[in-house]
Amino acid sequence: MVGGIYSKGENDEQKIRNALKQRNWNEIVAADSWALFKVMAEMVDGFEKLARIGPCVSIFGSARTKQDNKYYALAEEIAARLVRHGYGVITGGGPGIMEAGNKGAFEAGGKSVGLNIELPFEQDGNPYIDKDKFLSFDYFFVRKVMFVKYSQGFITLPGGMGTLDELFEAITLIQTKKIGRFPIVLVGRSFWAGMIDWIKDTLLEKEANISPGDLELFSLVDTPEEAVDVIDQFYARYSLRPNF
């Protein structure tokens, strides 16, 4: 483990033991300094490559979704429609829904951005990312900064833990007013219905852990047309320029 951030190749037992290991001051300073410079390098690289990409929408979803899955086709069509409406597309750069998003944008002739995360399984960059718009990160938190900083909206298709992390990161930042109220779209009513019912019944009504207005921070749709329409209607009020 380096400065509280786990190194590649460590198994779970090693990670736990290293987290509990006492270190002297020189070891702490050396490890933290290395981690700090690595984080700074990823930040600078991201800022330099993404600063001029223009209006983009992030598409979130599972890396495990197969090409014959209906949500893969939905993500591909959503991305193509976004491009035709003047937006670029940002994904996590991997397979599954991410690949579908990049494929739809790439084949429609739009900007296709991939923010890849280096993992011990699942993820490699997909072939539909613009060569000058592919970034690979060691740190999830740096990657999420790039999603939030350079996206004008978030479209979330079915996914697992990582997708939920990305979704609730965006919702939390908007709820706490750390970023502007950008549109968040959930695609697939049947998939998201149980979660939304739990948010309403438990978080809001039973425990009062959120406000009624928090339920208005996202939209729920089923079709590519509806998803892109939410983005378009939101930006009809602003002078956002198409990404042509």
| Residue range 80-126, pLDDT digits in tens | 999 999 999 999 999 999 999 999 999 999 999 999 998 776 567 89
Task: Locate the DSSP E strands across 24-149.
Answer: 56-60, 88-91, 112-117, 134-137
The pLDDT of residue 139:
94
Which residues form the domain of 132? Answer: 53-235
Mark whether 16 and 87 lie in a shared domain.
no
**pTM listed for this prediction:** 0.86
| Inter-CA distances, 207 with 96, 199, 202, 234, Å | 36, 10, 6, 31
Tokens of 80: 């193509």
CB 186, CB 158: distance < 8 Å: no
Number of domains in the chain: 2
Residue 6, in any domain of the structure: no
The pLDDT of residue 238:
73
- Give me the long-range contacts of 37-43 (CB less than 8 A, separation at least 24): 38/138, 38/139, 39/139, 39/142, 42/137, 42/138, 42/139, 42/142, 43/142, 43/145
Mark whether 140 and 200 lie in a shared domain.
yes
Residue 242, in any domain of the structure: no
The pLDDT of residue 237:
82
Mark whether 221 and 120 lie in a shared domain.
yes
**pLDDT less than 70: residues of the chain:** 1-10, 15, 19-20, 25-26, 29, 121-123, 239-244
Mark whether 88 and 184 lie in a shared domain.
yes
Mark whether 31 and 78 lie in a shared domain.
no
SS3 184: strand
Mark whether 188 and 80 lie in a shared domain.
yes
Mark whether 154 and 36 lie in a shared domain.
no
Residue 209, in any domain of the structure: yes
Exposed/middle/buried for 237, CB within 10 Å: 0-12, 13-18, 19+? exposed
